[in-house]
Every structure is written in C-alpha cells, then in structure tokens.
Amino acid sequence: MAFQVRPLVLSTLSAGLALAALLSACGGGDDATGWATDSAGSVTLQFEAVAGTTPVSCGSTITGLGSTSKSAQIQDLRFYVSDVQLIKADGSTVPLTLATTDDNNYADANGSVSLITLSQAGTGACTTGTLNTAIQGTVPAGRYVGVTMTLGVPMGLNHLSSTDAATPAVLRSDVNPSMSWNWRGGRKFTKIELQSTEAGNPVTLLHLGSTGCVGDPANGVPITGCTAPNRLTLSFADFDPARQQIALDVQSLFAQQNFSVTNSCMSSPTDAGCVSDFAALALNFNPDGTGTGTAVAGQTQTVFKAMSR
C-alpha cells in the first residue's frame, strides 16, 4: 500500500503548489500587506510635537535645544497640510476625502487643506483652547501601507484674501489669526515659535511660505507663480495610523540655532537666518537669493517623522 499512497501524496502536494502559484499569478491570493480600513474607509491621522522622542506641548520647558543646548518653551506651533493621499502596496496613491465639518479643513477643485494646531499663542502665553491635532477623512475601503502629504497650502488657495468672508474659514485671519502675510496674500505654511528661558527670553521662529510670487491679488491681478514655492512633500512609506502618528521634531528643526539670541526665519530669499531651518527641511535655499524653494535631490528632511502613538 505504501508504494501506492506516496505518488498520491506527491500528486496532491504538486497540485496544491500549482494552484497557489496560479492564484498568485492572477492576483487572486489574500494579500495581507499593510493595514485595512473599516468598511466605511475611515482614516484619522494624528499629529504631535516632540523634542527628539519626548512629546512637548504648550508651556513645556524643552531642554537641550540648539547649538548651545539651551531651554525654551513652545509658544505657537501651527502648520498647513494639503493633498493627503494614502499609499497602496503597489505604490499607487488614493486621495483622502477630508471631513470638512469644521474650520480646520477645506477642499474644492483647487485642492484640499487642513490646519494642524499643536499650540497657539495667546495673550501672554500659549493657550490650549483651539487645538486641532488630527486630520480625518475617508478613502475607498481596503488595504494601505503608507501616507503622503504636502506641507503648505495649494497654489489655487494660497493667495485668497484672508479677510474676505467668501474665503474658506481655515484660511481667514478672523478664524485662524496670524497665519497670513500682508504681501501677495499668501499663507504662513508653518508658524513655529519657541521662547527661550535664557536672559531676555529671545524667540526662535520659522514662518515658512512661498516667496517671489508674481501678481497683485489685492488689486485684482492673480498670482501666476512664485520663484520659491517652499512647499514640502512629506512621505511615510510604512505608516499605520492606528499605531503611529506624525511628529514634528522641534529639536531637529532648530538643531543649529543658538537659543541665547533671537533666531528669525521669515522665508525671505536672502534671510541668512533661514539656512539651517531650510536644511533640516531639505528645501533648496541660498542666502544670495537664488534658492528654488524645492526639495533638495538626494536629501531627506529630518523634521517630520512617523512615531508610535
């Protein structure tokens, strides 16, 4: 009997392997790569401020900052994020449809944008009353492996009037104050301000935004382009929102700044104070004014990172 059974076992095993290979070739296998949404395709992306790996927030005293290892407190930490897309295992991307149910999110044919508020400067000190630490939305239900987004406001929305009632609330100065510049009507993509605990309490800040923009929206001439867009793609190829969050590391951003004195970067093309901040973001910047405000090839930004929740 053993002589007769062995071919049967081998035959069954061979058939099973052949079937598995056929299913794999046809894409009919159960691909469990990545993580799965719920049946509604709901997604929540959580954000946090950190110094290294330590969470920090409004009023936290952060030690070991900058080139001289000084201490400071967060006053304001807000930034715009746009064009959020989830990444599938095959590398394709799927746009996140924003839940535009509050004044922190907006989407139309010109793009989508969200304002993340991890701390907001108030009267005399930061306040925790208006925080927005997450982006919520939906995608087609399925499996995904990562997420990508842009730090900044889309060109089609960036230069809308900050005071016009028709402008989306997330971009209006009466709803989200101090996130707009006077010139060319553009937004501050980031408003990151830390106040040192050193004598005189000098401030270190980064206000990132597009510069060299052509047009005059205040007089009816739309912006047609900017020599330095200063938008940054943030891509996390291995990211599970149920287990991870996106952290902004102020220690890495300001690693080269001296917190004993004032450090100010307003994104001016010739502002020498922007050199190290832009280097941390891997954005092209030259203090002679020739910077392109685009990603530096071959370099990776060190400010935003995926961390465990």
* Three-state helix/strand/coil letters over 267-299: CCCCCHHHHHHHHHCCECCCCCCCCCCCECCCC
Q: Which is more confidently placed, 178 or 281? A: 281
Segment 161-182, tens digit of pLDDT: 999 999 999 999 999 999 998 7
Which structure tokens are listed for 201? 């309490």
Give the pLDDT of residue 185. 66
Determine the average pLDDT of the residues in 236-245: 98
Segment 114-162, tens digit of pLDDT: 999 998 876 456 665 578 999 999 999 999 999 999 999 999 999 999 9
| Beta-ladder partners of 54 | 51
Which structure tokens are listed for 113? 């944008």
Determine the average pLDDT of the residues in 57-73: 93
Residue 243 belongs to what domain range? Answer: 36-308
d(CA 223, CA 22): 55
306 residue type, one letter: A
Fill in the DSSP letter of residue 33: -
Kind of pairing, strands 203-208 and 263-265?
A: parallel
pLDDT value at 46 more than 70: yes
Is residue 15 included in any domain, yes or no?
Answer: no
Is residue 10 included in any domain, yes or no?
Answer: no
* pLDDT band (50, 70, 90) for residue 305: very high
Is residue 173 included in any domain, yes or no?
Answer: yes
Give the pLDDT of residue 20. 41
Give the pLDDT of residue 14. 47
* pLDDT band (50, 70, 90) for residue 12: very low
* pLDDT band (50, 70, 90) for residue 216: confident
Is residue 259 included in any domain, yes or no?
Answer: yes
Give the pLDDT of residue 3. 38
Q: Are 157 and 113 in contact (CB under 8 A)?
A: yes
pLDDT value at 2 more than 50: no
Is residue 4 included in any domain, yes or no?
Answer: no
Is residue 26 included in any domain, yes or no?
Answer: no
Half-sphere exposure of 181 toward its Cβ, with a 13 Å CA cutoff? 20
- The number of folded domains in the chain is 1
Segment 266-278, tens digit of pLDDT: 999 999 999 999 9
Give the pLDDT of residue 129. 59
pLDDT value at 36 more than 80: yes
pLDDT value at 240 more than 90: yes
Is residue 11 included in any domain, yes or no?
Answer: no
Mean pLDDT computed over every residue of the chain? 88
